[in-house]
C-alpha cells in the first residue's frame, strides 16, 4: 500500500498549499490512514487546519479555485462554534478538511486532558493528532503531541469507570429465545464490545472512540494489558450462535474485570462482578391461598 499512501500524501501536499498561503493559517497536518501508511484505493484524506482566525467563505472559495478539479460535496458545522469542515473530491479521492480555531482546539483538549471528561469526538481528534503528520507549523503541532502523549492518570481512571458497565446478556438466553430481539441482541453486543475496548484503553492509556472499530486489530495491537486473542474473540461474538456468544462475552467481561482489579485496584468493580454468573429465573404464578 506504500505507493497509494505516497500518492495520497502528494495529493494532500498540493491541495493544502492554497490554504497555507493564507496568513491566518498556523498549522496543518494530515492524519488517518495517510499518516499511518495504511492506504488502499478506497482511502480518503483527513486534513486538520488550525487558525488564529477562521478563514472567510471567500477565502475558502479562493483556495478551492486554486485546486482545479476539486468538487465540493458538503460543508459541515458552524464557524460560530469555532470549527467547521468541508468535504470535496479531487480526481475521485474524497478529502475531508477540518478547519479549527486554535483557541477552540486547545479548549477542547483541556476538556479531556485537564477536566477528564469522556468526550468520544475529542478523543478521536486527540488520537488523530498523535498519529498525525505535520505539513505546516510543525513546532505547534509537536507541542500538542507532547501534551497529548502525557496521558493523565485521572483520565485513565475516568475511562475505566465510564466503560465498566456491562449488561448481563449471558443471563437472559431462555428469555431472549422467546422474544423478537435480534436487533436488540446485536445492539447489546456492540455496546459490550465498545465498553470492553473502552476499559482496556483506559488501562493502556489509549485514546479511544468507536471510529477505531474500523481498524480494531490495530487498536488492540497497541494494548499490553488485554485478554488473550482479544481481536479474534471479539469478532467471533458476531458470528457465533447466540447462546455460545453470550457465554463467550461473559468470559471476556470476567477477564477484563480481573485486569482492572490487577492494574487499577482502586476501581470499584462490585457491580460489574455482580453481573457475572447471574442467570435470570422465571417467576411462577403463586396460589392465592
- Reported as a single tens digit per residue, the pLDDT across 14-26 is 999 999 999 999 9
Are 27 and 134 in contact by the 8 Å Cβ rule? The answer is: yes
Averaged pLDDT of the chain:
94
Q: What is the mean pLDDT of residues 205-216?
A: 90
Q: Binning pLDDT at 50, 70 and 90, where does residue 41 land?
A: very high
Contact 254, 234 (CB under 8 A): no
Per residue in 261-272, pLDDT (tens digit) is: 999 999 999 999
| pLDDT the model gives residue 1 | 52
Indicate if the pLDDT at residue 44 is higher than 60. yes
Mean pLDDT, range 221-243, rounded to an integer: 97
For the chain, the 3-state helix, strand and coil shares in percent, each to the nearest 5, are 55, 15, 30
Residue 186: all three cell numbers together: 446485536
Residue with cell 476539486: 70
pLDDT in tens, 107-163: 999 999 999 999 999 999 999 999 999 999 999 999 999 999 999 999 999 999 999
pLDDT at 265 (0 to 100): 98
> What mean pLDDT do residues 40-65 have?
93
E strand map for the chain? 25-31, 45-51, 70-78, 83-90, 93-101, 133-136
* pLDDT for the residue 178: 86
Q: What's the predicted TM-score (pTM) here?
A: 0.92
CB 103 within 8 A of CB 82: yes
pLDDT band at 232 (very low <50, low <70, confident <90, very high): very high
Q: Is the pLDDT assigned to residue 206 strictly greater than 80?
A: yes
C-beta separation of 66 from 36 below 8 A: no
Residues 6+ apart with CB under 8 A from 269: 164, 257, 260, 261
Amino acid at each position: 500500500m506504500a505507493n497509494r499512501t505516497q500518492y495520497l500524501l502528494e495529493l494532500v501536499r498540493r491541495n493544502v498549499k492554497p490554504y497555507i498561503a493564507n496568513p491566518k493559517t498556523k498549522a496543518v497536518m494530515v492524519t488517518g490512514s495517510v499518516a499511518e501508511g495504511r492506504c488502499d484505493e478506497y482511502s480518503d484524506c483527513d486534513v486538520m487546519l488550525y487558525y488564529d482566525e477562521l478563514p472567510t467563505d471567500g477565502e475558502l472559495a479562493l483556495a478551492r479555485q486554486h485546486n482545479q478539479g476539486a468538487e465540493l460535496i458538503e460543508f459541515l458545522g458552524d464557524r460560530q462554534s469555532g470549527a467547521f469542515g468541508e468535504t470535496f473530491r479531487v480526481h475521485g479521492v474524497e478529502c475531508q478538511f477540518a478547519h479549527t480555531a486554535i483557541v477552540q482546539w486547545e479548549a477542547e483538549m483541556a476538556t479531556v486532558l485537564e477536566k477528564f471528561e469522556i468526550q468520544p469526538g475529542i478523543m478521536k481528534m486527540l488520537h488523530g493528532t498523535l498519529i498525525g503528520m505535520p505539513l505546516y507549523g510543525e513546532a505547534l503541532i509537536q507541542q500538542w503531541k507532547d501534551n497529548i502523549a502525557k496521558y493523565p492518570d485521572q483520565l485513565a481512571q475516568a475511562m475505566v469507570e465510564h466503560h465498566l458497565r456491562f449488561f448481563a446478556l449471558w443471563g437472559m438466553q431462555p428469555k431472549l429465545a422467546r422474544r423478537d430481539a435480534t436487533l436488540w441482541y446485536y445492539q447489546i453486543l456492540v455496546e459490550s464490545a465498545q465498553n470492553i475496548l473502552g476499559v482496556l484503553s483506559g488501562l493502556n492509556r489509549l485514546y479511544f472512540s468507536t471510529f477505531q472499530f474500523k481498524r480494531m486489530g490495530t487498536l488492540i495491537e497497541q494494548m499490553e494489558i488485554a485478554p488473550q486473542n482479544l481481536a479474534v474473540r471479539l469478532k467471533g461474538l458476531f458470528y457465533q450462535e447466540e447462546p455460545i456468544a453470550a457465554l463467550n462475552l461473559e468470559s471476556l467481561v470476567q477477564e477484563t474485570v480481573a485486569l482492572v482489579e490487577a492494574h487499577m485496584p482502586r476501581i470499584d468493580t462490585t457491580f460489574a462482578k455482580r453481573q457475572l454468573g447471574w442467570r435470570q429465573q422465571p417467576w411462577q404464578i403463586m396460589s392465592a391461598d
